C-alpha cells in the first residue's frame, strides 16, 4: 500500500470515527432553511487585495464548504477560535468547556467580495444566527454563532448589519451572533479540512450541508463559484 493510499485510508477512518464526536451526530432537528435577507447598508471599501475574517456558525464543515464556493475567497480554513492554543484539538473542543467555537478563517479579496457580502451569505445560507449555542443537530457552546473581529471596520459593519436585520425583523427570533474580539485562530486537524467536498455522500453532509451549497447557488448566483477553493489542494 502506498503512502498516498495509506493517508486516504487514515482520513476515511477519522471521518467515520468523528460521527459520534460532535459534528456528524444523528440529526434531532431539521436541516436549516435559507433566509433571503437584504444586503448591509454599511460596508467596507476594498482597500487592499487581501483581508481575513473569522466566522463561527455551528459545525465548521458546512460553513467552510459555503465560503469555499464564494467568488473572491482565496481560502477558507476550518479551525478553532475563542479559547487557548493548548485546548485547540477536536476532542477537547467537543467537550464544550474550552471557550473555543468551531470556526472558519476566510481570506478574501475585498475588491471582489466585500466583508458585508460575506456576512450576508453567512446569515442567509451558512447558518441560522438566531440559535443560541446550537446549530441544527449540534449542541454546545462550541457551535455558537460568533464573529471574531480583528479589524475596527469589520466590527462597525457587523454591528450595524445585525442591528439592521433585527430592526427589520428579518428573522422570527433575534440574532444571537456575538461580535467578539479576535484572540487567535488555530487550524483544525487535516481530516476536517475540505470535509464537505471530500465526503459528499456522508449522511450528515447530505442532510445538513449540501442544501447550503444549493441555496448559495440559487440565492447568490453572481457570487457562486462552481469549483471550491480547497485547503489541501493549496498545500499541495
Q: Is residue 59 annotated as part of the catalytic site, yes or no?
A: yes
Number of domains composing the chain? 1
Q: Given this model, what pLDDT does residue 12 score?
A: 46
CA 144 to mean position of chain CA atoms: 11
- 12 or 136, which is more confident? 136
pLDDT in tens, 145-197: 999 998 999 999 999 999 999 999 999 999 999 999 999 999 999 999 999 99
Mind listing the pLDDT tens digit for each residue in 60-85? Answer: 999 999 999 999 999 999 999 999 99
Say what percent of the chain tops pLDDT 90.
Answer: 81
Give the Cα separation of 19 and 17 in Å (integer).
5
Instruction: Tell me: pLDDT of 49 over 90.
Output: no
**CATH number, residue 224:** 3.30.1060.10
- Annotated catalytic residue: which of 34, 59, 77, 188? 59
Tell me the pTM.
0.89
C-alpha 68/C-alpha 173 separation (Å) is 28
For residue 139, pLDDT beyond 60: yes
How much is the mean pLDDT over the chain?
A: 89
Taking 60 as the threshold, does the pLDDT of residue 18 lie above it?
no
**What is the rounded CA–CA span in Å between residue 105 and residue 161?**
20
The domain containing residue 210 runs over which residues? 3-234
- Are 195 and 213 in contact by the 8 Å Cβ rule? The answer is no
Amino acid at each position: 500500500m502506498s503512502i498516498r493510499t495509506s493517508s486516504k485510508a487514515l482520513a476515511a477512518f477519522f471521518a467515520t470515527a468523528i460521527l459520534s464526536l460532535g459534528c456528524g451526530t444523528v440529526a434531532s432537528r431539521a436541516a436549516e432553511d435559507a433566509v433571503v435577507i437584504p444586503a448591509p447598508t454599511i460596508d467596507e471599501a476594498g482597500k487592499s487585495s487581501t483581508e481575513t475574517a473569522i466566522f463561527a456558525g455551528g459545525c465548521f464543515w458546512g460553513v467552510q464548504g459555503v465560503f469555499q464556493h464564494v467568488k473572491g475567497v482565496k481560502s477558507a480554513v476550518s479551525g478553532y477560535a475563542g479559547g487557548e492554543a493548548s485546548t485547540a484539538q477536536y476532542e477537547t473542543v467537543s467537550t464544550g468547556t474550552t471557550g473555543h467555537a468551531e470556526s472558519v478563517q476566510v481570506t478574501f479579496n475585498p475588491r471582489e467580495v466585500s466583508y458585508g457580502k460575506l456576512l450576508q451569505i453567512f446569515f442567509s445560507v451558512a447558518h441560522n444566527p438566531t440559535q443560541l449555542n446550537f446549530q441544527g443537530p449540534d449542541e454546545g457552546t462550541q457551535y455558537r454563532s460568533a464573529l471574531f473581529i480583528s479589524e475596527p471596520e469589520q466590527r462597525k459593519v457587523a454591528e450595524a448589519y445585525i442591528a439592521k436585520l433585527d430592526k427589520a425583523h428579518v428573522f422570527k427570533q433575534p440574532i444571537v451572533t456575538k461580535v467578539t474580539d479576535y484572540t487567535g485562530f488555530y487550524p483544525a486537524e487535516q481530516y476536517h479540512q475540505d470535509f464537505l467536498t471530500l465526503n459528499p455522500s456522508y449522511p450528515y453532509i447530505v442532510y445538513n450541508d449540501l442544501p447550503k451549497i444549493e441555496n448559495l447557488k440559487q440565492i447568490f448566483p453572481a457570487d457562486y463559484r462552481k469549483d471550491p477553493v480547497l485547503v489541501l489542494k493549496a498545500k499541495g
